[in-house]
Every structure is written in C-alpha cells, then in structure tokens.
Amino acid sequence: MTTDGIDNVDYIRAFMTERPVVFERSALVIVDMQNASGARSGALGRRMQKEGSTSTDYRFDRIETLVVPNIRRMLDGFRAKGGGILYVTLGAMRQDAADAPPHMRKMFLETNNWIGSDEHKVVAGLEPLPGELIVRKTSIGAFASTGIDHLMRSMGWDNLYMTGVSTNMCVETTAREAADRGYNVTMVEDSCASTRKELHEGTMENFQRLFGRVRSTDEVMSELSL
C-alpha cells in the first residue's frame, strides 16, 4: 500500500481494500421500509401533516421518487436470478412496546408500530414474497436485537447491499455492525433516504472512508448483471 500524496486526500481511504463481489454470496438488505415511517400515508407522515410540518418532505419525496423504485428494480433482479433477499423490520412485539429498549418505546407507541399492525407492514410495492426472509428488530441496528448474523452466515451471504431508511440511523448502524463483523458492505446511495439531505450525504461520505463502499443502483445492477 502506498500513502503517497496522503496529505492531499482523505488519509483513511488509503486503507480501504476492495474485495471481489460474488453474486451467489450476495444479499439485498431492505431496512425498515414500513408504513410507520417509510410511507407518507403512514403514522409519521400523518403526524407531520397534522402539525403542519414540512420537515419530512425531503424524506418522503426521496422515498417515493428514488428509494421504492430503485429497491424494486434490484428486488426484481435478485428474484429473477435467485439471489439473497433479507428484509429487516423495526417494531415491538407487544402493543405496549414493553419488549423494546426504553429509548425506542415512545416512538413505537406513538406510531402504532408493533407486529400485526398496519404500520408495521412493508410499504406497498416492496412486499416480501412467501419464503423470503425477515428479521424483526427493536433496536436501531439489527445486530443488537436479532439473529441476523447467524442467519446470514447460515445462508452464505457475506456481500451485503444496504437499502432503506433512515440512511443515518438504522441503515448506517446495521451496515457498520456488519462491516465490523467482516461483511463486505455496500450502501446503495439512491436506495436510501433520511429526513435531511445533509444527514444522508454525510453518512455516505463517512461510510466509504473505511467501513465499505457506496454505489448507485445502476452500478449495483451492472456489477451483479441484474
């Protein structure tokens, strides 16, 4: 490895190592694309509208125009080739959210996000097919409250393409957790959304410094021949 010119570039990125991509060991990971906070008509969107707030306009505009269509394209490609697909959902098991960590309970309660509720369901257009795997978490990162690591290792998936919401929260935390466990992680930039542009862009800039790669949907489709 050379560090020539390191003062003129981001020095951390000099330590990044590209790893080969193998489709058979790849999985499309769809994080928290649920009605509660992933659809304008869901609980979060309705709350913002009732309060007269425009703070989630960027989020829902991006979800509708980019995230759902792009995840759909990749889903179709992965399904056609028999590739790995993993849904990660967020929400409580119980209606009183007693099974959730304290810092998550109020959000689950006020968005009616518990297993079996309409808010907990995956947004229209991205619904999982019978037999597709789902892990349900109560924490920001999936590794903290699910058996996702065991599941992915059992399936032989070590090359992950991360999508969903929110970029700087659940997607990023899960992606970082995966990278620290040895997974080859790619954040699919135009298949993720957050509340504000600067949060989304800052996450992408920071993630590719050392944790993993950032790619567009088109680039993913091309490298996997989807």
**pLDDT tens digit sequence for 79-101:** 999 999 999 999 999 999 999 99
C-beta pairs of 92-101 under 8 Å, 24+ apart in sequence: 92/138, 93/136, 93/138, 99/138, 100/138, 101/138, 101/139, 101/145
List phi, psi (to 5°) of 180: -70, -15
* Cβ neighbours of residue 219 closer than 8 Å, sequence gap 6 or more: none
The band of 13, judged by pLDDT with boundaries at 50, 70 and 90, is confident
User: What's the pLDDT at 111?
Assistant: 97
Please report, to the nearest 10 degrees, the dihedral formed by the alpha carbons of residues 77, 83, 88, 89 taken in order. Answer: 60
Quote the tokens at residue 38. 């992933």
Is residue 1 over pLDDT 60? Answer: no
| Residue given tokens 């003062």 in the structure block | 7
Is residue 2 over pLDDT 50? Answer: no
Using CB atoms within 10 A of its CB, is residue 165 exposed (0-12), middle (13-18) or buried (19+)?
Answer: buried
**pLDDT tens digit sequence for 24-52:** 999 999 999 999 999 999 999 999 999 99
User: What's the pLDDT at 186?
Assistant: 98
- Mean pLDDT, residues 135-158: 98
Which amino acid type is present at position 92? A
- Mean pLDDT, residues 189-218: 96
User: What's the pLDDT at 3?
Assistant: 45
**pLDDT tens digit sequence for 61-81:** 999 999 999 999 999 999 999
User: What's the pLDDT at 215?
Assistant: 97
User: What's the pLDDT at 17?
Assistant: 86
Mean pLDDT over the full length of the chain: 95
- Considering the entire predicted model, what is its pTM? 0.95
3-state secondary structure at position 159? strand
Quote the tokens at residue 35. 């009605």
Angstrom distance (rounded) from CA 33 to CA 99: 21
Name the CATH superfamily, with its identifier, for domain 22-223. Isochorismatase-like (3.40.50.850)
- Mean pLDDT, residues 94-123: 98
- Mean pLDDT, residues 131-139: 98
Is residue 7 over pLDDT 80? Answer: no
**Spans of all domains in the chain:** 22-223
